[in-house]
Chain A
């Protein structure tokens, strides 16, 4: 490893532009002739659209046009798609209602667009929007799954009777029931996994431009996966053909899953740019983000775990209801099924699991992948259940976990996943040591003496990342393959450009990917430029989500580098009159091993491009591409321990210590990895203690701004103690597992387990706000 190679804490190459205000985000893009779009949105959760009168608005200053849903229909623009087919347990395909980008006849959630004003300025568009008269006929709405599933409930889509999208199951029901019938103990738990709003700090935005002469579109958009956006926009929506559409995702201000999806607003902006023959910009405001960005989580579950007399797990039975909102978003169907139920084995040997998941429509914002996507819901369920079991069985919670850990690898779980490697005991041991577990009773007693309640909670999480082997996800219903591409271009002077299909929206790829190249060639990261986020530059790529960019994206770069190095070695051997097998690469030079003969990388590169003296038959140039399709998921895992102190007078809970020990395999840049964990922990703590998207009974969102939805702020979270244990992932050449989601997956159960420990009972749901904690304390006192 060099000072800038794999494992080095290299300061980020991309930071200079961000700290000096020179980042280039979508809303920063300016084009001559730009117009501005403002959407007219339904104030009702469920209503018939009876008419839209835009005549007055069209006469207002600066208004270019007012486009309505009916015009989308007339232009035969396709409906939004869901890209993962999931079937019910009876074999029937999932039941989906149509989702037009603007609603021509029925609106099904507050904020759904029905028309768009295009004007010279944003303010003119907003002013004119107030003059558009939309007549609605209100329909009864269902805002909760309970209401949606009640008999006689209002129906959202005729295609989905009873508001049920699917009734899916995984695992062996009979075997699991048998295990329960033999159990010495059964522990059960009812859980709610609260609905969250991703809230990347940069709101979604789009700048669309149509070139009439070339019949070509350019779309700048806030996307985690610009190539997927282009594919979906061209293949399904009938707006532009793939070779006539360039999608650019420049600097993107956070994603957390919410910018994977192709949304109505981006589609409409693209379509409108051709309609009005002017470039169109739409930048969402925060309220629009709350109303229209895909939300996350929102499960209600009942779980039961069966134990033998020695406290070994015999089986797990789960029934989950998952709220999809009003429409099926791009990957929504996969989240509570293949990204959730397949992780229900946790870190444990569970001989049999049976899980049923019912997907439900409600008159709320659509729900899809949000940081962790299904895996946080799984780890919350499993880890709450383990902690509850330990208390009920009167076993130390660390010990109960330890005796049930998977210790032999590979390990086939009863729910599809085959864990390749891990050392769960090592992470737990490190976490116990870091938190000083033995000293906890004394700390608890001291807190008690001071009138405070201390609690300690564990979470031993596992997740499936490096998404994903194309063949495997294809067999499970995915509409796309989940490989990644890379191209390594060595310039004639020896500097290097790496084109990647991964997309960085905060993860620091411009640095970590350069470190891989620097490591292999022994050069500085400054000689390496990472190019991403532009479909005109990068041929294809699947983008960044599911902690896949290191495990999949960098593996593609690794493969391309091997090809480049092989060719460069041939050239060097030819120039040095040595045998190819004797060439080694060190410090930016190609050396003949065991001699002082060497040639520097720039000279090899120059030789490749002058082509004056290459081996016979060799093509000029030094550029190679590779596609990498993973052979398995990766399985980051770890142990988190949270220690809280509750003020019984106010219910205010302070996290007094938080220890995270993760096994991510090899770390490329530990500084960046730690940063990813910190951010994930804050999101998980946010879910556990602060955040919740709430609707009233009529489907009105009551948490649609930062005034109402409690985002974690600096004084809501502690400093974290983050460390690592390591088992190298055998499934990819770098031994990496991925680190983007772990913090969000592992932390919320640790927090709630700590709070329930302090409370002495289990009757609290997320978010455990001071009000709820205080109420839970009164409950306890009443019982005493």
Chain B
């Protein structure tokens, strides 16, 4: 067992967990943050993606013990109150989701993609960058549209700040 201190969605969390505990299980089982999903067992699907210190990471492949002191953001933590994150809004406006299961991971991954490319994205780049996220419903068409739309919105939002 080990005790780890984290910041999760802005709140301090201290957890004593078995050494084999994965971040996704801490989030889902201990913290009731069930928006982060598990879609595979080989780190391929990306349904579990969260941000650790601002970077997209697969929480199914991260031991809680590895990230003592880290700042974790999940899908539940990106809206500001009732104001959706531009990526969330873009997914809704572009019908970028169907069953919703891969969506949290897609959104967390996509925010990181936009951040890394400073909003300067084209379709080919988005498709290539999304290779670590699997969706079975949308055929990716509207997900790509959503990410490109959000890239524009995030640029505007950043300019306004």
**Chain A residues near B (Cβ < 8 Å):** 11-12, 14-25, 27-28, 30, 123, 199-203, 251-254, 256, 285-287, 505-508, 671-672, 674-676, 678-683, 705-707, 711-715, 717, 719-720, 743
Does B41 lie at the interface of the complex (its beta carbon under 8 Å from any beta carbon of A)?
yes
B interface, CB within 8 angstroms of A: 18, 20, 28, 32-42, 44-45, 47, 74-76, 79, 84, 88, 91-93, 95, 97-104, 107, 123-124, 126-128, 130-131, 133-144
**Complex CA–CA separation, A713 to B138 (angstroms):** 11
Residues of chain B within 8 A (CB-CB) of A251 are 99-100
Additional 14 contacts, C-beta under 8 A, given A19-B84, A20-B88, A713-B130? A11-B92, A19-B97, A21-B34, A23-B101, A200-B99, A201-B47, A202-B101, A253-B102, A286-B40, A683-B136, A683-B139, A713-B133, A717-B141, A720-B139
Query: Which A residues lie within 8 Å of B37 (CB)?
Result: 25, 201-202, 253
Query: Which residues of the other chain, B, contact A505 by a CB distance below 8 angstroms?
Result: 99
A680–B139 contact, CB under 8 A? Answer: yes
Asked whether A675 lies within 8 Å of B40 as measured between CB atoms, the reply is no
- Cα(A715)–Cα(B37), bound, Å: 23
Cross-chain pairs A/B with CB under 8 angstroms, 22 sampled:
A20-B76, A25-B34, A25-B101, A28-B28, A200-B101, A201-B45, A201-B101, A201-B137, A202-B39, A254-B98, A254-B99, A286-B40, A287-B41, A679-B138, A680-B139, A706-B45, A713-B131, A713-B134, A715-B124, A719-B144, A720-B139, A720-B141
Query: How far in angstroms is the closest Cβ of chain B from A14?
Result: 8
Q: Is the CB of B45 within 8 A of A202?
A: no
CA distance A715 to B141 in the complex (A): 10
Do B134 and A201 touch across chains, with their CB atoms under 8 A apart?
A: yes
Which chain B residues border A711 with CB–CB below 8 Å?
A: 44, 134, 136
- Which of B47, B103, B140 is close to A717, meaning CB atoms less than 8 Å apart? B140
- Residues of chain A lying within 8 A (CB to CB) of residue B45: 201, 286, 706
Residues on B with beta carbons closer than 8 Å to the beta carbon of A30: 32
Q: Is the CB of A719 within 8 A of B141?
A: yes
Residues of A within 8 A of B75 (CB): 19-21
Contact B41 A285 (CB under 8 A): yes
Contact at B18–A256, with CB atoms within 8 Å? no
> B39–A12 contact, CB under 8 A?
no
10 interchain residue pairs of minimum CB distance: A21-B35, A253-B101, A18-B100, A506-B99, A682-B139, A21-B75, A506-B98, A678-B139, A706-B44, A714-B130
Q: In the complex, A715 Cα to B131 Cα: how many Å?
A: 7
If A202-B39, A672-B95 touch, whether A18 touches B139 (CB-CB below 8 Å) is no
Tell me the smallest distance from the CB of A44 to a CB of chain B, in Å: 21
Q: Which chain B residues lie closer than 8 Å to A714 at the CB level?
A: 126-128, 130-131, 133, 135, 140, 143-144
Contact check, A200 vs B142: say whether CB atoms are below 8 A apart. Answer: no
Can you name the residue of chain A whose Cβ is closest to the Cβ of B75?
A21
Per the bound structure, the CA–CA distance linking A680 and B75 in Å amounts to: 27
User: By DSSP majority rule, is chain A's interface helix, strand, loop, or mixed?
Assistant: loop
Q: Which residue of B lies closest to A283 (CB)?
A: B38
Whole-angstrom CA separation of A203 from B48 in the bound complex: 13
Contact call B127/A715, Cβ cutoff below 8 A: yes
- Looking at the assembled complex, report how far the CB atom of A123 sits from the nearest CB atom of chain B, in whole angstroms: 7
Interface centre among A18, A24, A256, A672 (most CB of B within 10 A): A18
**Is A681's CB under 8 angstroms from B139's CB?**
yes
- Which B residue sits closest to A685, measured CB to CB? B139
**Of the residues A21, A254, A682, contact of B36 by C-beta under 8 Å:** A21
Instruction: Report the minimum CB–CB distance from B53 to chain A (whole Å).
Output: 20
B107 to nearest A CB, angstroms?
A: 7
Point out which of A199, A712, A717, A719 has the most chain B C-beta atoms below 10 A from its C-beta. A719
A18-B39 contact given A12-B92, A678-B138, A715-B128, CB 8 Å threshold:
no
Nearest chain A CB to B90 CB, angstrom units = 9
Tell me if A671 and B137 are in contact (CB < 8 A): no
Measured between C-beta atoms, what is the minimum distance from B146 to chain A in Å? 10
Q: How far is the CA of A14 from the CA of B99 in the complex (A)?
A: 10
Establish whether residues B144 and A19, one from each chain, have CB atoms under 8 Å apart when the complex forms: no
Q: What is the chain B residue whose CB lies nearest that of A707?
A: B42
In the complex, A753 Cα to B45 Cα: how many Å?
Answer: 30
B74 to chain A: which residues have CB within 8 Å?
Answer: 21
Q: Which residues of A contact B140 (CB under 8 A)?
A: 678, 682, 712-714, 717
Q: How far is the CB of B66 from chain A (nearest CB, A)?
A: 18
Among B28, B84, B123, B136, which residue has its beta carbon within 8 angstroms of that of A254?
B136
Given contacts A200-B136, A719-B123, contact A252 B35 (CB under 8 A): no
Question: Do B42 and A286 touch (CB < 8 A)?
Answer: yes
List, in ascending order, chain A residues with CB within 8 A of B92's CB. Answer: 11-12, 15-16, 19
Across the interface, which residues of B come within 8 angstroms of A285, CB to CB?
38, 40-41
Chain B's closest residue to A720 (CB) is B141
Q: Is the CB of B98 within 8 A of A675?
A: yes
